[in-house]
Amino acid sequence: MMFAGNNSPSFAIIGVGGFLGVNEHDVAVPLSRIKHEKDKLILPGATKEALKSVPEFRYAKSEGTDNKTSRK
């Protein structure tokens, strides 16, 4: 998640595309678009193709990092 200046979450970072993590890239989605229904998070109206076309989100580099993330 990305947080706004008032420390409230404003974007969710999700992985799209690829298969089993191969060729997957991260995109930022406004939390206001994500809905919680029946214990699931959904993105109403989104398609796989639309999410794949969203520009890739890249984490800012900090000293001593290589800009890669690990998913756990």
| 18 falls within a domain | yes
Q: Is the whole model's pTM more than 0.85, yes or no?
A: no
| 41 falls within a domain | yes
Q: How far apart are CA 55 and CA 14, in angstroms?
A: 12
| 60 falls within a domain | no
Q: What domain range includes position 39? A: 2-53
pLDDT band at 39 (very low <50, low <70, confident <90, very high): very high
**Counted domains in the chain:** 1
Q: How far apart are CA 65 and CA 59, in angstroms?
A: 10
Does pLDDT of 29 surpass 70? Answer: yes
| 62 falls within a domain | no
The residue-averaged pLDDT of 29-57 equals 89
| 43 falls within a domain | yes
Using alpha carbons, select from 22, 24, 32 the residue that is nearest to residue 2.
32
| 40 falls within a domain | yes
